Structure formats: structure tokens, C-alpha cells
Structure 1
Amino acid sequence: MAPSRVPTGLTTLLRRTIQHQKQHPHLQSLCCPILRRSYQSYDHPPAPGVFGAAEQAILSAAYRHVPEHGFTQHALSLGARDAGYLDISTNLLPEGPFSLIRYHLVTQREALTPQSELIFHSRGEEKTYLPQQVLDKVERLTWERLLGNQEVNHRWQEALAIMAQPPHVPASLRELALLADDIYYLAGDTSVDSSWYTKRGSLSMIYASSELFMTNDRSAGFGETRAFLQRRLDETNNVGGAWGSFAQWVSFTASAGVNVLRSKGFRI
């Protein structure tokens, strides 16, 4: 089946953005973060860390409380105390519990780089991989990232509900896009044609649906989740199937977000 085309409007937007930044480089620092680093490549290094020293200290300490207390303000307060800060220091994190979720997303994504070196015995030299080798590496790296959720898997539906709230959707989707990009980058993908977009878009959908599937998986070692992931990757040529899985994830997160807002007194 022929790969889907990149939407013309998206291509035009990207071209105009790149052209505008070249013409006005002094304005790049004012651009949306998504446009500053929307992808990774062999010619574009990753962006600097997103957390300051104090934020890092509080979040890393708070993260240890997530399995028991969830991605909550209480976990953040406990983390601040553990890190030697006053409870009020959580004001350094204006996004509240979402900061803790974002910390999880960022640190687990970044952990894939050293993991890939251990798994694939890479010594840092430049290599060229056959297409099937790339796909095998994509599957393994995606699975390793899913395993990064196992300690907080019982809390992840709560996290999805927070991520689905309108203020947090852009950052959540951005992290999902960065994850798909990093996986293909670490797998050795060097494509520069339109498939660059379609492969990462499809992987984003597959990962999102696999992550949701995992929250209800009670099999040993999350074996059913890995089988689900492998089936979805085998269906990557069936774009309709990939979109169907993503639609399920969107439906769940949207309804979960609505329920959270209702619990806070909003009339929806």
C-alpha cells in the first residue's frame, strides 16, 4: 500500500517557518518552542535541558513518591521536603502535577540514548542500517520506552487525564513527537524524504495506543502489550489501522480530561 502523503498545508507551514527564521534569525528566540526544536537529525543537536537545578531537585525527589501518591500536588510537596525545600517551593513549578508528568516523559525519553548504546553495542561510529534492521531497532526501542512506565503504570491513566486538559495538550503532543523522532534517530534512520514525517507520525500513534493498552495489561512482564505493539508495527502500511488506534487514545484522554474538569466543578 502506498504511503500517505504529508498534508500540503503542513508542508507549506514548515517551509514558510524555515524561510522566515532564515530571513529573521534574531527573532528565533521568540518563536514557539515547538518550532525551535520540532525534530532531531544528525545535523541538529538536541535542545538543552528543560528543568533548572531547583526544579530538577524537587521533581526527582517527588518522582519517588508517584507510585504511592500519583502525579499529584501532594507528591510534589513531599519531594520539596525531601530535597530540603519548603512546601511553598513547589511554586517554582507553575504547571503543578503536569510538571511531574513532563519530568517522567522527558527523563524516560532521554534514557533511551544510553539504553540504545547498551542494547545495540554502539561505539558511536556512524553506521548505515538496512530498512529491516531499522524497523527491528524501532520495535526494541519503543518497547524499552514502554517498560519505562512499568513503575507508574497503575497511575498512568490519571496522568493521561491531566495531559488531556487543554493547557497541557500542546506540551504532551510535543513530547510524543520528540519521542518518535528520537526512536527513529537512535535506530539509525537517515531518511530525508517525505517518509520522514509519515514514519514518525505513525510511530506516535502506535506508541500512544500501546501505552494506553498497557494501563489495562495484567499479563506477566506486560507480554500482551508487546504483542500489541508488534501487531501495530506490522500494520504500519495500513494507515487506517494506525489512525484507528490513535483515535481510541484521543477518545480516552479527551473523556478522562472532561471527567477531571467536572470533578473540579466545571459545568461540561
Structure 2
Amino acid sequence: MSEAALPPKDRLLDAALLNVPFDGWSPMTFELAVQETGIDATVAKSLCPRGAVDLAMHYHARGDALMLERLTSADLSGLKFRDKIAAAVRFRLEVVSDKEAVRRGTTLFALPQYAADGAKAVWGTTDAIWDALGDTSEDVNWYTKRATLSAVYSATVLYWLGDTSDDHTATWEFLDRRIENVMQIEKLKAQVNGSPLLSRLMTGPNWVMSHIKAPSRIPRMDLPGSWTRPRQD
């Protein structure tokens, strides 16, 4: 697709990426992108009310889309599920063409006023991975899977940003260790659930968690989740 045929927001993003290594995701970067593309300033502001912050979010979403393309075309059928997760995270980082843009984004989303945006972006990535790998959870596991992977993904990104090893081999080893840590936690949870005494102690919490449901895939104007009302027999 030619540059002129791209949607205006993508044109703004491509222009901004030329300046992000120097000025970060800043107002100056956004202004220069508007000038470079020739897009009317009013139109640009309507597409990105927060300027470069919205472009940074769009950049992250573009990376997620590229990751999903790789996941769709890759043959992961012979891999264990934990290795599929590792492959997805690796794909997500490998589609990044400019590490400095991610570094600058990490700095931006570390600011208190944009921390929620950063968390939303990471959650979106992990949600996309679980969905692509066929997760069908409808209970509290929907949340715990994404929360756990968000922690693994975030730690791996920070490690990757400072990794100077060939082909980022140190990062992939770090990722494998983090996933192994998660697997050990899952084994411990299974042991706890298998203990009659601990199972009785967890009766109350388990009852609460059993009523937590995953958010509906049908767009709704409510909170991202639901609570089922216990039956009154």
C-alpha cells in the first residue's frame, strides 16, 4: 500500500516514528508529523486528541496486529502450550522495527498520568495472545491468565530493551525462565487444591471466584466483567 493510500492516522504514525528516537512521544513529535504529512491540524487532532500519546497507543496496536499475522501463519501444532506462549511473546518483540520507539514508549507510560494507558496496552497484547491460542476460559481464569502473562510480557520487554546478545538469545532464555516460574506456581496451586484441609479453608474464596465471569465478547457499555447472581432455591 502506498503512503498516500494509508489511513491518515497511520500516515501520522509513520511520520512520527522518524522523530521519536530524538524527541520521544512528545508534542513536538506530533507537530512535526502533522507538518510532514500535510494533514490538516484539525483532522489530526480529531484522530489523536492527545497527540503523540494516541500515536504511541496506535503504534502498540499495530505491533499486536503484526504479531497476530505471524501467529496465524506459523505452524505451532508440534509445540507444548507453554512453548506456544513463548513463541507468541517472541513474535511480538520481533515485529518491532525500532527498539528505541518502544523504549520511549516505556518511558511515556511510566508517567503516572499515562500508566493506565500502558497497562491497557499490555493487557490488550496478552488478551490477543490468549485469544489467538484458543483460550476459552469463562471464569476467573480468564483474568488470571492475562494478568500472569502481562507480568511475564512486561518483564521480558524490559529485559529485551537492555539485551545486546546476538539475536536476543539472552531475552528468549529469560522468557523461558519466567514461564517456568509460572508453571511452578500452577503446580503449587494444583497441590493446594488437592489438599482436603486447604480445600476446606478455601471454600469461601472459591465460592466468590466461582461467580466471576469473563467479559462478554458482545460489545457492551458496562464494566469489563460480570457477576452471576446465585440461584435462590
> What is the TM-score of this pair, normalised by structure 1?
0.58
Task: Give structure 2 stretches of 5+ with no counterpart.
Answer: 1-6, 187-233
1:72 paired residue number:
26
Q: Provide the C-alpha distance between the structure 2 equivalents of 1:174 and 1:72, rounded to a whole number of angstroms.
A: 20
- Match for residue 164 of structure 1 among 88, 107, 110: 110
**AA partner of residue 135 (structure 1):** R
**1:96 and 2:74 matched:** no
Residue 139, structure 1, aligned to residue 81, structure 2: no
Whole-angstrom CA distance in 2 between matches of 1:223 and 1:201: 25
| 2:65 corresponding residue in structure 1 | 110
SS at match of 2:183: coil
- Asked if structure 1 preserves the Cα contact closer than 8 Å seen for 2:152 and 2:175, the reply is yes
CA deviation map 1:47-95 (0-9, x unaligned): xxxxxx4333322332344345533333323322332225676544332
One-letter code aligned to 1:236 = V
Number of residue-to-residue matches in the alignment: 179
Measured against aligned partners, the alpha-carbon deviations of 1:108-167 in whole angstroms (never above 9, x if no partner) come to 01222221121128xxxxxxx89x733222110111112233x33234333222112232
Tell me the distance in 2 between the aligned counterparts of 1:96 and 1:146.
Answer: 25
Higher RCO (CA-CA < 8 Å; seq separation 6+): 1
Cα distance in 1, alignment partners of residues 143 and 45 from structure 2: 38
TM-score, normalized by length of structure 2? 0.66
Alpha carbons 1:139, 1:230 under 8 Å: kept? yes
- Rg larger in structure: 2
RMSD of the alignment, in Å? 2.7
User: What SS does the aligned partner of 2:39 have?
Assistant: coil
Task: Give ranges in structure 1 of 5+ residues lacking alignment.
Answer: 1-52, 122-128, 241-268
- Supply the distance in 2 between the matched residues of 1:161 and 1:154 (Cα, whole angstroms): 11
| Structure 2 residue 230 is matched with structure 1 residue 230 | no
Give percent identity, aligned residues only.
22
Aligned residue for 1:33? none
Q: What aligned pairs does 1:120-199 form with structure 2 within 5 A after superposition?
A: 120=75, 133-149=80-96, 151-199=97-145
> What is the alpha-carbon distance in structure 2 between the residues aligned to residue 238 and residue 158 of structure 1?
33
